[in-house]
């Protein structure tokens, strides 16, 4: 990489190609082949089931379940009977009260069946309820249906995502939560128990249970060559895991997360638990989507490898099951990063990836591309972005800038830069964002001291020629003379004794996502910054003066500084805009929350008042999560730290501003 430019992607074993000419769907969650044709059935989360003729591209709606006692966005899973014209779905619905003295919590997850007509449509008049499970928390419900090679229907159920899953740290056999079930849907209604199920003779267990000890088994599959059952189980605080499931197996949760004891309490006895085949930490991703052992013919190099994804990181990997200890191959580095709700296997064993937020279905094809440039070099000095590898001396084409309100980074001082290709400009959007052009690059160096003499790390975020984004992190040596590229996240201990986390490349996209890839390039952030070159000119003016803006500088008011004299609500809203709105904005499909923390959203439309207790910061969820770091035994997930990554210390100024706003606000009604 010469002259400080963005590296292009390197070729891999496979790449993602938009299917059906890039046609999009609405929140696709599952796709399965029709056992009696080459058509595919696709389930959309709002309740529609579509039948797709792969040869012609024709798409027909064969069922709409939206008005059948279903929560909005409640269609979760789909399976077709391998020999009979019958379809099975999982839907979420409001809970049904069966005991007035113990009202139900959360929602009900239901397994339903429908006859399928000769034209492929579902006969909704034949609806049959097979199973109803109350999910006491916000998610982790019944989420995958698969028919096994034995003709039995297998059903995964998560742990219900409640604080009870943390305390006590053991599986509750009186419930169906955290299990994979095996049932026979070809016998008496609603189903029968296969006599060889592993717990039919155990009075303490439900007869339906095939295996247990899962947190959120998000998508499982059977290897069509061997019949092996593989599941991706979503972790909580540290670890995602891939399990080979056997009848009667205990896979550890909530005692274990991956191979580690989830609780630090004495008595973490792992006797009888089955350890995962592979794990990865939240430095790589934090929401596994289980996939398939590849048995197709398009990509011979993937034969027999387990292909899986991570919903949050947008990555796709292949794990060599035949080589113990092998590292997975990253298949889509620098490519499209889908929010993979599911992988799908066609009748011909070729694989698809369903992008839940974008709505695109991708097919997996062989990658024969040739890189235009090599990847990021291993040493920062080889990037030519700084003179003599001095982080305070940018190269001539590297432009510094500052921001009005800092994203909290554990108190580190920061220097920021942009690099633009020749004749390229920042695109000005109507809402004041400055979009980086293709080939553009942002650079940020973090320093342990305000004098900027002790650099910690330098991060790169670049937009490639194909429009996709890449990231890199460099760790500086103790002398501050050069920095080394890191492939994985790393925990550092600074000279002050404080902890510092250098993120893995994939981890950068937990925050740099959707509408907010380059967080600081915003007219609200640049309109008040003054680097003094020339004196009195802010960065927005300077960008216009340098001719790097494609359009006039947006006329928006700068965000008020946290330590300034603006009204406390404005300063609080500015803090939330910078530190939270990259994820919490209306229309972000990856966050199951109505919160919209953008500065310009009217307060009554933000849902913030639902998260605070006016006059009582300590009773307010937002304030508690800002003042928390890590996850502790017995703590509900809703009370864990925010932001969830890249910080190990509480922000004293930010919590003071938010606390003062909650104490004094009169605009939110008292609870």
- Quick one: pLDDT band at residue 429, thresholds 50, 70, 90? confident
Q: Does the pLDDT at position 590 exceed 60? A: no
pLDDT of residue 591: 53
More confident residue, 368 or 261: 261
pLDDT of residue 165: 45
- Quick one: pLDDT band at residue 373, thresholds 50, 70, 90? very low
Query: How far is the C-alpha of 183 from the C-alpha of 192, rounded, in Å?
Result: 6
Looking at every residue in the chain, the average pLDDT score rounds to 88
Q: Beta strands 40-44 and 48-52: pairing type?
A: antiparallel
Q: What is the pLDDT of residues 637-671, one digit of tens each?
A: 455 777 766 788 899 999 999 999 999 999 998 76
Q: What is the pLDDT of residues 60-74, one digit of tens each?
A: 999 999 988 888 889
Query: How far is the C-alpha of 644 from the C-alpha of 667, rounded, in Å?
Result: 28
Mean pLDDT, residues 14-35 taken together: 94
Q: What is the pLDDT of residues 441-451, one digit of tens each?
A: 999 999 999 99
Query: How far is the C-alpha of 570 from the C-alpha of 581, rounded, in Å?
Result: 15
Q: Beta strands 549-550 and 40-44: pairing type?
A: unpaired
Alpha-carbon Rg for the chain, nearest whole angstrom, is 26
Query: How far is the C-alpha of 194 from the C-alpha of 200, rounded, in Å?
Result: 9
pLDDT of residue 536: 60
Contact status, residue 143 vs residue 214, Cβ threshold 8 Å? no
Q: What is the pLDDT of residues 564-588, one digit of tens each?
A: 999 999 999 999 999 988 888 876 6
Query: How far is the C-alpha of 213 from the C-alpha of 233, rounded, in Å?
Result: 10
Query: How far is the C-alpha of 455 from the C-alpha of 344, rounded, in Å?
Result: 45
Query: How far is the C-alpha of 154 from the C-alpha of 210, rounded, in Å?
Result: 8
pLDDT of residue 633: 37
pLDDT of residue 631: 53
Percent of the chain with pLDDT over 90: 59
248: alpha, beta or left, given left = phi > 0 and alpha = psi -120 to 50? left
Element (H, E) at 460: strand 455-463
Strand order in the sheet with 441-447: 398-401, 413-419, 441-447, 455-463, 469-476, 483-486
Query: How far is the C-alpha of 163 from the C-alpha of 646, rounded, in Å?
Result: 24
Mean pLDDT, residues 296-319 taken together: 93
Q: Does the pLDDT at position 264 exceed 90? A: no
pLDDT of residue 163: 47
- Range 46-55 contact pairs with CB under 8 angstroms and sequence separation of 24 or more: 46/72, 46/73, 46/75, 47/74, 47/75, 47/91, 48/75, 49/75, 49/78, 49/87, 49/89, 49/122, 50/25, 51/120, 52/20, 54/346
Contact status, residue 615 vs residue 663, Cβ threshold 8 Å? yes
pLDDT of residue 9: 65
């Amino acid at each position: 990489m010469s002259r400080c430019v963005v590296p292009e992607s390197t070729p891999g074993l496979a790449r993602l190609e938009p299917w059906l000419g890039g046609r999009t769907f609405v929140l696709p969650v599952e796709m399965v082949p029709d056992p009696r044709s080459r058509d595919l059935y696709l389930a959309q989360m709002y309740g529609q089931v579509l039948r797709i003729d792969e040869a012609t591209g024709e798409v027909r709606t064969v069922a709409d379940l939206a008005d059948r006692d279903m929560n909005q966005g409640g269609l979760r899973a789909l399976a077709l009977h391998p020999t009979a014209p019958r379809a099975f779905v999982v839907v979420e619905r409001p809970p049904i009260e069966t005991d007035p003295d113990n009202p139900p919590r959360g929602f009900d997850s239901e397994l339903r069946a429908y006859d399928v007509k000769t034209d492929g449509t579902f006969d909704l008049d034949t609806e049959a309820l097979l199973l109803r499970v109350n999910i006491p928390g916000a998610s982790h419900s019944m989420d995958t249906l698969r028919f096994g090679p034995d003709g039995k229907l297998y059903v995964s159920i998560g742990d219900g995502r409640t604080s009870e899953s943390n305390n006590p740290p053991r599986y509750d056999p009186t419930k169906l939560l955290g299990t994979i079930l095996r049932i026979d849907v070809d016998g008496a209604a609603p189903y029968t128990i296969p006599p060889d199920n592993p717990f039919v003779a155990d009075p303490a267990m439900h007869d339906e249970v095939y295996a247990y000890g899962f947190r959120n088994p998000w998508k499982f599959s059977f290897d069509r060559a061997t019949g092996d059952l593989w599941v991706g189980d979503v972790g909580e605080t540290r670890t995602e895991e891939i399990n080979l499931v056997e009848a009667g197996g205990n896979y550890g949760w909530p005692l274990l997360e991956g191979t580690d004891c989830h609780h630090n309490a004495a008595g973490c006895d792992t006797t009888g638990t089955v350890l995962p085949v592979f794990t990865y930490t939240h430095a790589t991703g934090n929401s596994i989507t289980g996939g398939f052992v590849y048995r197709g013919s398009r990509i011979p190099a993937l034969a027999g490898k387990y292909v899986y994804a991570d919903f949050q990181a947008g990555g796709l990997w292949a794990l060599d099951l035949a080589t113990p200890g092998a590292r997975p191959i990253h298949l889509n580095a620098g490519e499209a990063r889908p929010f993979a709700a599911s992988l799908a296997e066609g009748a011909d064993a070729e694989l698809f990836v369903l992008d839940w937020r974008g709505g695109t279905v991708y097919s997996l094809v062989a990658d024969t591309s040739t890189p235009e440039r090599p990847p990021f070099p291993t040493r920062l000095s080889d990037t030519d972005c700084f003179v003599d590898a001095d982080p305070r001396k940018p190269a001539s084409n590297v432009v510094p800038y500052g921001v009005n309100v800092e994203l909290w980074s554990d108190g580190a001082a920061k220097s920021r830069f942009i690099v633009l290709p020749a004749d390229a400009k920042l695109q000005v959007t109507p809402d004041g964002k400055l979009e980086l052009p293709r080939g553009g690059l942002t650079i940020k160096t973090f320093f342990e001291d305000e004098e900027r003499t002790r650099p910690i790390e330098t991060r790169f975020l670049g937009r490639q020629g194909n429009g996709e984004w890449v990231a890199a992190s460099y760790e500086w040596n103790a002398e501050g003379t050069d920095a080394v590229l890191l492939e994985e996240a790393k925990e550092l201990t600074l000279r002050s004794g404080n902890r510092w986390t250098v993120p893995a490349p994939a981890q950068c996209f937990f925050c740099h996502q959707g509408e907010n890839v380059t967080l600081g390039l915003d007219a609200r952030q640049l309109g008040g910054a003054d680097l003094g070159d020339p004196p009195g000119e802010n960065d927005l003016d300077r960008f216009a003066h340098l001719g790097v803006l494609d359009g006039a500088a947006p006329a928006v008011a700068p965000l008020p500084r946290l330590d300034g004299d603006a009204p406390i609500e404005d300063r609080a809203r500015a803090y939330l805009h910078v530190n939270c709105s990259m994820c919490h904005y209306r229309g972000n499909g990856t966050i199951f929350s109505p919160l919209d923390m953008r500065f310009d959203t009217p307060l009554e439309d933000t849902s913030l008042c639902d998260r605070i207790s006016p006059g009582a910061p300590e009773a307010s969820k937002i304030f508690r999560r800002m003042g928390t770091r890590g996850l502790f035994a017995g703590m509900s997930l809703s009370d864990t730290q925010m932001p969830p990554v890249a910080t190990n210390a509480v922000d004293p100024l930010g919590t003071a501003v938010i606390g003062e706003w909650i104490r004094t606000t009169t605009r939110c009604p008292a609870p």
